[in-house]
Amino acid sequence: MAPPEKKKFQLSIRFCGPKCSSCCMVFSIWGILMLIVLGILFKVKTVSLFEDTDDSSKTGTNCFIAAGIYAGTLLLSLCQRKLNQNRPAAPAHQYAMDSEA
């Protein structure tokens, strides 16, 4: 009885397909990079971003925290990718092998 339960558990963990997880990964990487850069720019009080904030130091910190959240989603999407890769592939050559045996 144990193996089917385990399988069901694994299925429920993998909630993103291969395309979805890759897409989330790309967006997460972009989010981390861009929010870190934005955070630094707010910290050094770049003039172009003046219209966006009253307290640039606090906004800079907010950017870093949001980048942290995206680091979390990056980890999540990497896990999903891994699960997708480990998933047994469709039995593409199974029949051919059977016939040779």
> Which residues of the chain form contacts with other proteins (CB under 8 A)?
27, 30-31, 34-35, 45-54, 56, 59, 61-63, 65-66, 69-70, 92-93, 95-96, 98-99
- Angle at the Cα of 69 from the Cα atoms of 63 and 72, rounded to 5 degrees: 145
Q: Which is nearer to other proteins, 61 or 84 (CB)?
A: 61
CA distance to 11, 26, 50, 91, 95, per residue, from 75 (Å): 18, 12, 33, 30, 37
Least Å distance, CB 70 to other proteins, is: 7
Least Å distance, CB 98 to other proteins, is: 7
